[in-house]
Amino acid sequence: MVEWNFEYITKEETQASDSQTYIKELPRNGVISYLDIKFEATNGSTSNKDSYIQDVISKIEVVANGSEVLFSATPREIIRLNWLMLGKYPPGKMSEVPNDVQYQHFIIPFGRYPGDTEYGLDLAKYNTVDVRITYNLAAVNAVGATGFVSGSAKITIACLRAREEGKPSVRGLISTRELKTFTTAASGEETVELPIGKRYVGLLVYCREDAVADGTDITKVKIDLDKGTRTYVEYDWDHLKALNAHMFRIDPTVSMIAYKSDTGTIDTEVGEVYGYSVEVLTDVDLTNDTFTVINVDTISGDRLTINMSTVDVTAGSEDITANTTDDELYVTVRGNGIGNAVYIPFHFKEDLSDAFDSSRYGEIDCVLTQGGAGGTCGVVLQEIFTY
């Protein structure tokens, strides 16, 4: 009988360094179904604008025997994969508010679902397995009053694990690895050659540029087999987003807490804004007969530009002036599917018996059609590693 346990590998481990590659060795035995990594840090006493957890982490990896990469992706790529898996944006808190603790969970699955008895990370198959997190708290804002507080980073790693005496006999694991990252050009194609030999589960293409709508920098995704012998898929970006939305039943909503004044901008992670709600946390000043009014002035991609005004209703002195003092803004934005990414499934049966066998082909290419310069693009492949 398989016995699964929810366990902490480390809990709220405070980091003395503000910039490093953190390494934590996993237990030497048992089977891990998934890891749940939580990274948190505290905002400075003045603010921490436009700097979230996914901005200060550059990569999260799981590496076996010192060099065999089982998992490797950027935080925003992981968030998109989690968004697909969970059907909604993964747990976290994005906040610019002074002294707030920001955090983000990153789920790293090694099977098809929690408690999968056929696929998982069998720790006894390796000499060592490490989690590696590369981060820099000063990636956006210098540490201090207007950035993250120095020494405030904390890391928690939890897992669903079956110990050696009650573990399942798994046949392998599902690996997730970023194959390439690049900056898009104004036109032309970017070709990413996929590795041959294993069975594919799925492929994520992530592309984001501030204030630019989804489907602008990458307009089409094609999976080409043996130089045109067969085309697995050749879909426009928007068509793939629609496919993902109904295949995975995606909630396209993202919430955050901004700290802005008039003309401030908010980048919302949804790729393209289809609806929004912005509420300001402030009192009505009954003594001076003033109150704050907020609305969205413009929308560019997933960026909202805020219009904030102070309204004075004093009799005979009525006036409206720009609000130049930062206030807490509670923001909820609805996009279209998962923001800034599309996913191509390579199987349709839950047991993975029909997972795409790449060994049947001599060359497999992911061909990306570019339509705008400046987008950060990453290609992430999920494969089956057999033991």
Domain boundaries, the chain: 4-170, 253-334
pLDDT at 11: 99
pLDDT at 199: 98
Segment 109-129 mean pLDDT: 98
Q: In this model, does residue 243 exceed pLDDT 80?
A: yes
Q: In this model, does residue 377 exceed pLDDT 90?
A: yes
Lowest-confidence region among 13-22, 76-85, 161-170 = 161-170
Q: How many CB atoms lie within 10 A of CB 140?
A: 15
DSSP labels for 227-286?
TTTEEEEEEEHHHHHHHHHHHTT---EEEEEEEE-TT-EEE-SSSS-SEEEEEEE---BT
For the chain, give the mean pLDDT. 96
Per-residue pLDDT reduced to its tens digit, 279-299: 998 877 777 678 888 999 999
- Are residues 9 and 23 in contact, defined by beta-carbon separation less than 8 angstroms? no
Under the banding of pLDDT at 50, 70 and 90, the label for residue 117 is: very high
**Helix, strand, coil tally for the chain in percent (to 5):** 10, 50, 40
Lowest-confidence region among 43-57, 114-128, 233-247, 281-295 = 281-295
> If residue 83 lies in a helix (H) or strand (E), which one and from where to where?
helix 75-86
Lowest-confidence region among 31-35, 243-247, 346-350, 375-379 = 243-247
The architecture that CATH gives domain 4-170 is: Distorted Sandwich (2.70)
Under the banding of pLDDT at 50, 70 and 90, the label for residue 319 is: confident
Per-residue pLDDT reduced to its tens digit, 257-278: 999 999 999 999 999 999 999 9
Segment 202-211 mean pLDDT: 98
pLDDT at 290: 80
pLDDT at 68: 98
pLDDT at 350: 94
pLDDT at 237: 98
Apex 241 CA angle, 239 and 244, nearest 5: 110
Under the banding of pLDDT at 50, 70 and 90, the label for residue 168 is: very high
Q: Which residue has the tokens 């904030």?
A: 308
Beta strand extents in 286-351 (DSSP E only): 290-300, 303-312, 319-322, 327-334, 341-345
Q: In this model, does residue 153 exceed pLDDT 90?
A: yes
**Nearest CA to 182 among 30, 323, 373?**
373
Under the banding of pLDDT at 50, 70 and 90, the label for residue 315 is: confident
Residue 286 CA, distance from chain mean position: 43
pLDDT at 188: 98
Segment 85-109 mean pLDDT: 98
Q: What percent of the chain has pLDDT over 70?
A: 100
Lowest-confidence region among 60-64, 236-240, 243-247, 374-378 = 243-247
Under the banding of pLDDT at 50, 70 and 90, the label for residue 311 is: confident
pLDDT at 90: 98
pLDDT at 158: 99
Question: Strand 68-73 relative to strand 172-183: parallel, antiparallel, unpaired?
Answer: parallel
Segment 303-323 mean pLDDT: 88
For residue 173, give both structure tokens: 């694991």
pLDDT at 86: 96
pLDDT at 118: 97
- Are residues 105 and 91 in contact, defined by beta-carbon separation less than 8 angstroms? yes
